[in-house]
């Protein structure tokens, strides 16, 4: 695994507020994005534990399943055939797999690994960065989102991160892909700003954040300092049915997250979701707007 340091500019204002974080995804415990985020959050001073599926479980939503002994090797041959239902990296016990779906995996982390590594339950759950964006209706089927919602239902505030660029890639690829580094750095920036916004719990009950990063390339959007964060909504508002959003940027209607990531430039969509995987209401959005006010911008 290629380790990298976050820029001092991003870390200095927030590094003193270290917390306990449980991490999961639906792409598997050995996928490079979850390991890059672990490195970035750890470099920022946080105590992080990965509890993620043994295999790629994309598209499994909020499904759960009793973990079983592996009948084939873990993804990228990260554990052999016949490995137990639960396991970890011998050289890094904070990297844990569960042979089940994302929602089951994060629950194992909350209920079991927390007692081993944390002084109590985690302060925050982060999932992803997912390989590919989770926008609009894909939110309903995403295992990365399902894991975040499962954490929220257990009383743990959660953020689901997803990125447009990349494909299923092993943790030990060298060098670490540029997009994976950038997404991990951006995820850490938002996480640290949320933590700095006040004492726990860092989000109101029953909501989570859906964060989508646009494409990264060698030619554009190739460093974290080029990106800006925009408050958005998951779904297109339905006239006469959808209530007003929080008032910001001169409007009571937030842009959809699809519109944000598709806007020319480097814009990150930050949406407020509830446990039904629908948009949070204006009151809930207002809390997030206040907490992240120094980070959020308006679309041009």
Query: Environment class of residue 120 by beta-carbon count within 10 Å: exposed (0-12), middle (13-18) or buried (19+)?
Result: exposed
Q: pLDDT: is 119 or 124 the higher one?
A: 124
Could you tell me which residue, 140 or 5, shows the higher pLDDT?
140
Average pLDDT, the chain: 94
Condensed to tens digits (0 to 9), the pLDDT of residues 122-138 reads: 999 999 999 999 999 99
Write down the pTM of the prediction.
Answer: 0.94
CA 216 to centroid of chain Cα atoms: 17
Q: What is the spatial order of strands in the sheet that 86-89 belongs to?
A: 86-89, 92-98, 47-53, 20-24, 124-131, 158-163, 207-213, 267-274, 228-232
* CB count in 10 Å sphere of residue 126: 33
For 203-229, the pLDDT digits (tens) are: 999 999 999 999 999 999 999 999 999
> In this predicted model, what pLDDT tens digit does every residue of 7-19 receive, in sequence order?
333 433 444 489 9
Walk me through the domains of the chain, giving residue ranges and CATH numbers: 8-291 (3.40.1210.10)
In this structure, what DSSP letter does residue 6 have?
A: P
Q: Which residues contact 239 (CB under 8 A, 6 or more apart)?
A: none
Evaluate if residue 3 carries a pLDDT over 50: no
Q: How far apart are CA 30 and CA 99, in angstroms?
A: 13
Alpha carbons within 13 A on the beta-carbon side of 87: 24
Q: How far is CA 151 from CA 91, 176, 255, 256, 297, in A?
A: 27, 29, 27, 24, 28
Q: Is the pLDDT of residue 25 over 90?
A: yes
Provide the pLDDT for residue 17: 87
The model's pLDDT over 240-289, given as tens digits with 9 standing for 90+, comes to 899 999 999 999 999 999 999 999 999 999 999 999 999 999 999 999 99
Average pLDDT value for residue range 28-47: 98
pLDDT in tens, 137-178: 999 999 999 999 999 999 999 999 999 999 999 999 999 999
Query: pLDDT tens for residues 92-112?
Result: 999 999 999 999 999 999 999
How distant, in Å, are the alpha carbons of 79, 118, 153 from that of 197?
A: 40, 22, 22
In a 13 Å sphere around the CA of 205, the CA atoms on its Cβ side amount to 3
Nearest to 24 by CA among 60, 77, 76: 60
């Amino acid at each position: 695994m290629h380790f990298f340091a976050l820029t001092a500019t991003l870390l200095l204002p927030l590094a003193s507020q270290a917390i306990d974080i449980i991490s999961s995804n639906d792409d598997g415990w050995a996928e490079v994005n979850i390991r890059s985020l672990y490195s970035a959050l750890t470099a920022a001073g946080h105590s992080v534990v990965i509890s993620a599926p043994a295999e790629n479980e994309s598209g499994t939503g909020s499904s759960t399943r009793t973990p079983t002994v592996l009948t084939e090797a873990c993804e990228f041959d990260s554990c052999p055939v016949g490995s137990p239902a639960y396991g970890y990296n011998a050289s890094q016990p904070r990297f844990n797999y569960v042979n089940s779906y994302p929602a089951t995996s994060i629950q194992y982390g909350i209920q079991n690994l927390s007692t081993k590594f944390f002084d109590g339950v985690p302060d925050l759950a982060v999932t992803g960065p997912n390989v590919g964006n989770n926008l609009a209706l894909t939110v309903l089927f995403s295992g990365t989102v399902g894991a975040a919602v499962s954490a929220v239902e257990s009383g743990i505030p959660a953020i689901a991160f997803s990125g447009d660029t990349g494909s299923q890639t092993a943790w030990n690829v060298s060098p670490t892909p540029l997009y994976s580094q950038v997404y991990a750095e951006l995820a850490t920036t938002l996480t640290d700003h949320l933590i700095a916004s006040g004492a726990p719990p860092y989000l109101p009950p029953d909501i989570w954040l859906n964060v989508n990063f646009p494409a990264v390339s060698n030619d554009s959007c190739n460093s974290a300092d080029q990106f800006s964060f925009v408050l958005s909504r998951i779904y297109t508002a339905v006239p006469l049915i959808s209530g007003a959003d929080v008032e910001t940027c001169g409007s009571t209607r937030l842009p959809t997250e699809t519109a944000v990531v598709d806007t020319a430039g480097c814009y990150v969509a930050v949406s407020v979701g509830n446990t039904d995987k629908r948009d949070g209401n204006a009151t809930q959005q207002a809390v997030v707007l206040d907490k992240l006010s120094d980070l959020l911008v308006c679309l041009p």
